[in-house]
Copies of this chain bind each other. A is one copy, B any other.
Amino acid sequence: MPSRVGKYTIQLQTNPAVLGYAAVVGKKEGEGPYGQAYDQCHADTTLGEASWEKAESRLQNEAVHIALHKANLNNTDVNCIFAGDLLNQCISSTFGLRSLDIPFLGQFGACSTMAQTLAVASLFVESGAAVRAVAVTSSHFCSAERQYRYPLEYGGQRSPTAQWTATAAGSVILGTRSQYPTASIGLQAVTFGRIVDYGIKDAANMGAAMAPAAASTLIDYFNDTGTNPQDYDLVLTGDLGLVGSSLLDDLMQREGKDIRSVHNDCGLMIYDREKQDVHAGGSGCGCSAAILCSTILQQMDAGKLHKVLFLGTGALMSPTSSQQGESIPSVAHLVYLKS
């Protein structure tokens, strides 16, 4: 049974088990620092599909199938799938997963979606509502650019604070601990974030908009559990990029919780910022999903990482809200993984 700890944190007494995971990425991501860690790197942004949206759907579909295969499971072994993405009406998820015939629960948390799907799935497994559940999300540079910004053909200039939407998908399969007592990685706790809005209106500087939400949830978690940054091997945010990450470090220092020695950000990890011209770093649901579902969980499986706080951050705006002069509300959800 899950039990509430402090004001916002939920402890998972049974430690739902990670049964399998997979990351599928595009060409640019495959050429990044963790190219060798992904299960599949595509050389073509369309994946041979007729549109970028269909290509993104396929990223999710492949991420789930590979993770199921690695866990020696079939789609019929899974009780429910939690999925979401950045496209309007979450069509990467709905079209990418419709063939799976698994009860489908669409989630929307913008770039915090991987943490949200993982957190909700873990609670379903912890409570017995599901024996096995899948969490998956994706993003695609081309489908996101034309939906949120400009047609690619226009060649719009990017500001230094802008982040590059990753073409990637990541998937995790969770199972009830009693059936998988020896699984090396388990989920220990989750903290769902409240919406935070500091009034930032620059949609080309989402890291700055999301940093306060990340700080809010991280502080809630540390307060609820009475722990400190140094109690963990890694505080992994996704995706604040360069600007947001340094803002978060500052905000946490002011709260007396210095995370600099253990903090890393998926948006800073997925690309080589020197060589790959991604300005402030990577972003998109698929960015944190691909980093978590490759090098991070691999290092935990290998015993190189043990205590990881995964903190997904999302900017809850749309082109319409920005056009109407609105600021960018943000949210961050936390999952504590232990091996």
Contacts and interface: CB of A to CB of B under 8 A. Distances in A.
Interface in A36-71: 50-51, 53-54
A108 B192 CA distance: 17
Nearest to A220: B103
Contact of A192 (B2, B53, B104, B320): B104
A3 interface: yes
A19 to B, nearest CB: 18
Interface stretch (A150-158, A193-201, A271-279): A193-201
A105 B120 contact: yes
8 contacts: A1-B128, A3-B128, A8-B103, A10-B129, A89-B316, A94-B316, A104-B194, A123-B129
A204 interface: no
Contact of A107 (B106, B123, B127, B192): B106
Interface string A75-116: 000011000101111110011011011111111111000001
Contacts of A103: 8, 191-194
A326 interface: yes
This chain: copies in complex:
2
Contact of A4 (B51, B97, B128): B128
Nearest to A329: B98
A248 to B, nearest CB: 19
A53 B320 contact: yes
Given A1-B1, A128-B2, A109 B105 contact: yes
Contacts of A10: 129
Contact of A108 (B1, B108, B321): B108
Most interface-central of A80, A91, A94, A105 (chain B CB within 10 A): A94
Given A4-B128, A105-B109, A98 B197 contact: yes
A300 B98 CA distance: 35
B105 A116 contact: yes
Interface of A: 1-4, 8, 10, 50-51, 53-54, 79-80, 84, 86-91, 94-95, 97-98, 100-110, 116, 120, 123-124, 126-131, 147, 191-195, 197, 316-321, 324, 326, 329, 331
B88 A88 contact: yes
Contacts of A80: 192
Nearest to A8: B103
Contacts of A317: 89, 91, 94
Given A51-B324, A102-B194, 5 more contacts: A2-B127, A94-B331, A100-B195, A106-B316, A107-B108
Nearest to A318: B89
A200 to B, nearest CB: 13
Contacts of A195: 94, 97-98, 100-101, 104
A193 B101 CA distance: 9
Given A108-B106, A318-B88, A95 B326 contact: yes
Contact of A129 (B89, B98, B127): B127
Contacts of A98: 195, 197, 316, 329
